[in-house]
Amino acid sequence: MAPHDLRRPFKRAAISDQQRRRELSLQRQAQHRRDAQHQARCLASFLNPHSDPDPEPEPETTPEPEPEPTDSPKELDVRHASKLKGAEARKWFARQLMLPEWMIDVPDQLPQDWYVFARPAGKRCFVVSSNGTTVSRLRNGSMLHHFPSALPSGARTKDSSGSAQSYSILDCIFHESDQTYYVIDMVCWREYSLYDCTAEFRFFWLSSKLAETGACDPPSQYHRYRFSPVPVYNCDQAGLSAAYTGAVPYVKDGLLFYNKHAHYQTGNTPLALVWKDENCSQYVIDTDSKGQVPSQQQVVLELQDNGNLSTSDDPPVVFGCLDQAFIEQTESRSGNLLRFAIGDGGLNFVDGKLEKADLHYLGKSNRARAFADSYSKVG
Amino acid sequence: MAMEVTQVLLNAQAVDGTVRKQAEENLKQFQDQNLPSFLFSLAGELSNDDKPVESRKLAGLILKNALDAKEQHRKLELVQRWLSLDPSVKTQIKACLLKTLSSPALDARSTASQVIAKVAGIELPHKQWPELIGLLLSNIHQLPANTRQATLETLGYICEEVSPDAVEQDHVNKILTAVVQGMNSSESNNDVRLAATRALYNALGFAQANFSNDMERDYIMRVVCEATLSPELRIRQAAFECLVAISSTYYEKLAPYIHDIFNITAKAVKEDEEPVALQAIEFWSSICDEEIDILEEYGGDFTGDSDVPCFYFVKQALPVLVPMLLETLLKQDEDQDQDEGAWNIAMAGGTCLGLVARTVGDDVVPLVMPFIEENITKPDWRQREAATYAFGSILEGPSPDKLIPLVNIALNFMLTALMNDPNNHVKDTTAWTLGRMFEFLHGSALETPIITQANIQQIINVLLQSMKDVPNVAEKACGALYFLAQGYEDAGSSSSPLTPFFQEIVQALLTVTHREDAGESRLRTAAYETLNEVVRCSTDETASMVLQLIPVIMMELHQTLEAQKLSSDEREKQNELQGLLCGCLQVIIQKLGSSEQSKYVFMQYADQMMSLFLRVFASRSATAHEEAMLAIGALAYATGADFVKYMPEFYRYLEMGLQNFEDYQVCAITVGVVGDICRALEDKILPYCDGIMTQLLKDLSSNQLHRSVKPPIFSCFGDIALAIGENFEKYLIYAMPMLQSAAELSAHISGADDDMLEYTNSLRNGILEAYSGIFQGFKGSSKTQLLMPYAPHVLQFLDSLYMEKDMDDAVSKTAIGVLGDLADTLGSNAGPLIQQSVSSKDFLSECLSSDDHLIRESAEWAKLAISRAISF
């Protein structure tokens, strides 16, 4: 029945440092758990076949069979994706970028539904800022730069505007001569995923958010490379002409066309297109490692389990087939990327479908390649 | 069937150890052989006026301990045991107890009161012993004063033991009537009046209805106020204790009485003896607590429809309250700063003044300043100290605009006083006041800095100098430096004004830790804590100096581990020091590990640090274990996958930590470290998972483990699953049913007090984090179908959480995330199930439009995952 102790803390700080240490640890752990969870979610969505936001309609012929296992054994484990190295990282990162097809014909509604901009010449890469640092990775997954930047959580500075752990992902082209990252798309901003946003929204977000951070400022101690948006135009007469002939601070490498309503889709998509000609690109045709234009058109194809050679399209287009003896002789394995020259026979089409291609084996592809060419590039 | 137990009970209190041991053994045997007879014999002994009071008292205590225990699990066992006892034995025991209330022996009566309350605590909630209250009330009208005294005491204990809803309102009314009558000044026997006043203290919680009735409340308040004027000190004190309890329980009913209460308390503070005066001051401290809470909750703009209105009692009383409190400041005890347990009227008055300042803000300043100006330069140290204390007290609450000009004037004066005042007491308070200035008025949030380029050098010089003063003053100087450093916490990454002094400060703090007398006044602890804060707030510029600290601190830790043949007292101090050193290393690891550059350099020490931490586990001190464990968690995070090399050696300590039910904080922290290690090692943790999971499952099914550890254990399941992916398969059959039953329990909150709600939400969060981790872990595996059977229950859990509408934002965020994870991992297989759930519609759309961006973000994710799952 004793009443409470009268004594109150006297000349003491209310919280002990020990309590503080405990709480800071708990905060750190909770934060890391959140990050791990978040990472798993973001990565997961692109590794799984279910993740394709615009799946091919299945022909409704057979009744639904037993659910297939959702993954092939080759498929990577989600939680590892961020730490992947070597070939696996290349494979994973290659799938993260949205890759344009070659523009073969003019899409309907081009002026209404499409954007156009001049593609900067340089290395296409993903720039990820998180946890106080910024990393750029080429489309083959190898690291280009590791640096501090003014992007959110991109450097170890006190950034009052958000959690130190928040992260952002930008789709960029690194332009050597002015050491600038030209941002062509925004994939994730302060942990807010833009994958499922239309290009229209992503470009709007990009133009309004990027400058806010100071990422477009000249380099400084905590901001090693400048970032810059590229001017994007509607695909009307004026826009096309501005993109095609207008002056830009960078060397142009073709024109990129983005469908305004398309989400950020990883891999090849017909909703982003590239056009190159002599006027707007120095690199119309592949060069070999010495910068020489090869005499024959070359193509890189992926060897399948059944010996088929296919493109990187989804579904893949089969160009030919290797026999077992040839596979053994070249020590090729399923999944290898092989380089072929297209011979004088060229490509033969029957009813609009590729029937036969005249391929000559040149060798294995450069190890840095992560994927085969797409059909539209070859065609 | 009663047995003669007198001699055994007397022997059990013998001075001779062997006799005592034998007697205790006999009692235990008796209890084991025949419990009913044992208990009845004890009750008989207690009630028998022919027996010695020593044996009667012990009989009562053993009886009481047979009914209740501190430890929750044991307590429930004892309750069950009593309930299942033969009713006729229980009737006899209870009769003995009630009879004892009329005994002439005070100790016997008092012990019986407590035992009756314990029995009531078990039986009344089960609707047993319905005649108890009636029987007790009939005693009230009996003549012998000792019966009335014991009966009132019993009623008080019952009110403390039993929850108000176990007693019907009619009985409550009668109890209060009896108690208040007993308190009345017409009661001539002081013992009866005192027992009644103390009983009221416990009965206040039962008086909700009575306090809502104006007449009844007026009467109760009148009687309490009258009792504060009793000639008997103990009655006055007990009456003020009632007023203090009323101030927090019935704050909103106090308006009509506050004026009278002020007069009563002011008189007591001025004139009454210290125990009473302390209660009178506590009344106002408690009113401040209430008003601070209310004002905080409503953000200052009180509107008519708030639950509890603020009556601004403190603000109204201010012109008289403040002078009254200032007066108390001059009544210091000579040595109060050296005495840990000291509590006197000056301390209580100063503390209350600090609360007043927090309650009313700016208004307090003009009332206190004249007192400070009047006294601060007086030759009598009491006046200087009181003035300084008054200044320190009002630094939290009033606006910086009001305070900063005053602080700018006072700062120099204080620095001089800290150096030159001849009195230690004044210096102690001066250093404390400087600390308060830095705590509340220094930092990047404030526009005008009180510490500038011009004075920082002097401030630091004075504080470092003062750290050589007597321990209690040095400890306060360390505290001031702590807050000085904290103010530069977010000064920017590149440069801190402390940088030029960094080396000097660190050196001075290390010197303090080596002082012979650093064990006094918490000095060593304060020095290490300040060192920690200085490190936390340091910048890249000083990273190399922080790095140099590592070998120094490691050497200290090494030395404590080498010390041998210590007395138990020395060992305790050694353990405390180990805790502090591990804490310091933890802070350094966290600091340097957060930047890639410094991490690389400090990793060279990782092996050595780890081996020291492992040696700390050899000690028996829970605090040292806890600190070492926290440090290892930080190290694991910094080390990443390479941490695997420490696992073979570390694992057994990890297991030990998970088994430490007794020091549940150690267990909780170890659970957190398992999470750190999961994230560091990923699937390399697999070989250790069988052991860890086994232990975690044991922990969960234990009744002994403190409940606060259970939510983190569930979260830890998620961490493990995320780390090892489909390898979690073999744990599913154990973990899932546990999650399921915990989910069912936590879906509906029973007994909705705030603590329970908070705990339930943390439990829900843990369960949901487990589900999240498990679903994400299995993502992309060929074994996702193993999770299908659990999907309906998970969705049901989410639905019921949504229906209950009482989850907090953190739970909402995790819950909606789980919906996404389930859809993401199970894909089209779960499509129809998801579409049937309420969560996928109403809950999701509610979250999508939430104000909280984290909830919105999780909801966006869930929406996306669901749209994929159902489009297939």
B640 torsion bin: left (phi>0), alpha (psi -120 to 50), beta (else): left
CA B579, CA B586: separation in Å to the nearest integer? 10
What per-residue confidence (pLDDT) applies to B698?
92
Tell me the shortest Cα–Cα distance from A299 to chain B, in angstroms: 32
Comparing CA positions, the residue from A321, A42, A27 lying closest to residue B590 is A27
A220: pLDDT strictly greater than 80: yes
A83: pLDDT strictly greater than 70: no
CA atoms within 13 A on the CB side of B702: 21
- Residue A358 banded pLDDT, cuts 50, 70, 90: low
Residue numbers in A near B390 (CB within 8 A): none
Q: What is the pLDDT of residues B661-680, one digit of tens each?
A: 888 889 999 999 999 999 99
What per-residue confidence (pLDDT) applies to A50?
34
Residue numbers in A near B239 (CB within 8 A): none
| Cα pseudo-dihedral B633, B635, B640, B642, rounded to 10 | -120
CA B323, CA B330: separation in Å to the nearest integer? 12
A88: pLDDT strictly greater than 50: yes
What per-residue confidence (pLDDT) applies to A69?
36
Amino acid at B786: L
Both tokens of B870, joined, read 């159902």
Query: In this structure, are residues B351 and B389 in contact, taking their beta carbons and an 8 Å threshold?
Result: no
A323: pLDDT strictly greater than 90: no
Task: Phi first, then psi: give them for residue A221, nearest 5 degrees.
Answer: -55, -40
Residue in chain A closest to B719 (alpha carbons) equals A33
CA A14, CA B396: separation in Å to the nearest integer? 13
Residue B17, classified by CB atoms within 10 Å of its CB into exposed (0-12), middle (13-18) or buried (19+), is exposed
DSSP element (H, E) containing A52: none
DSSP element (H, E) containing A363: strand A353-364
What per-residue confidence (pLDDT) applies to A59?
37
Comparing CA positions, the residue from B435, B425, B533, B536 lying closest to residue B479 is B435
A72: pLDDT strictly greater than 70: no
Residue numbers in A near B777 (CB within 8 A): 40, 79
Q: What is the pLDDT of residues B313-329, one digit of tens each?
A: 999 999 999 999 999 99
What per-residue confidence (pLDDT) applies to A25?
84
What per-residue confidence (pLDDT) applies to B871?
72
Tell me the shortest Cα–Cα distance from A289 to chain B, in angstroms: 36
- Residue A276 banded pLDDT, cuts 50, 70, 90: confident
Residue in chain B closest to A51 (alpha carbons) equals B868
What per-residue confidence (pLDDT) applies to A49?
32
Of residues A335 and B860, more confidently modeled: B860
CA A161, CA A170: separation in Å to the nearest integer? 19
Q: Do A11 and B824 touch (CB under 8 A)?
A: no
Q: Do B493 and A8 touch (CB under 8 A)?
A: no
Amino acid at B53: V
What per-residue confidence (pLDDT) applies to B244?
96
Residue B276, classified by CB atoms within 10 Å of its CB into exposed (0-12), middle (13-18) or buried (19+), is buried
Comparing CA positions, the residue from B628, B609, B610, B637 lying closest to residue B551 is B609
CA A214, CA A216: separation in Å to the nearest integer? 5
What per-residue confidence (pLDDT) applies to A73?
29
Query: In this structure, are residues B790 and B778 in contact, taking their beta carbons and an 8 Å threshold?
Result: no
- Residue A347 banded pLDDT, cuts 50, 70, 90: low
Task: Phi first, then psi: give them for residue B107, nearest 5 degrees.
Answer: -60, -40
pLDDT < 70 positions in chain B = 1-2, 299-307, 491-494, 750-752, 872
CA A221, CA A218: separation in Å to the nearest integer? 10
Mean pLDDT of A203-223: 85
Mean of the per-residue pLDDT values of chain A: 72
What per-residue confidence (pLDDT) applies to B682?
87
Comparing CA positions, the residue from B861, B843, B844, B741 lying closest to residue B790 is B741
Q: What is the pLDDT of residues A297-319, one digit of tens each?
A: 667 777 777 777 777 666 666 66
Q: Do A41 and B479 touch (CB under 8 A)?
A: no
CA B409, CA B403: separation in Å to the nearest integer? 10
- Given CA atoms B183, B189, B190, B196 in this order, what sign does their dihedral have? negative
The residues in A 52-81 lying below 8 A from B, measured between CB atoms, are 53, 55, 67, 69-71, 73, 75-80
What per-residue confidence (pLDDT) applies to A51?
33
What per-residue confidence (pLDDT) applies to B152?
95
DSSP element (H, E) containing B627: helix B622-639
Q: Does B556 touch chain A (CB under 8 A)?
A: no
- Kindly report the number of other CB atoms within 10 A of residue B564's CB atom: 5
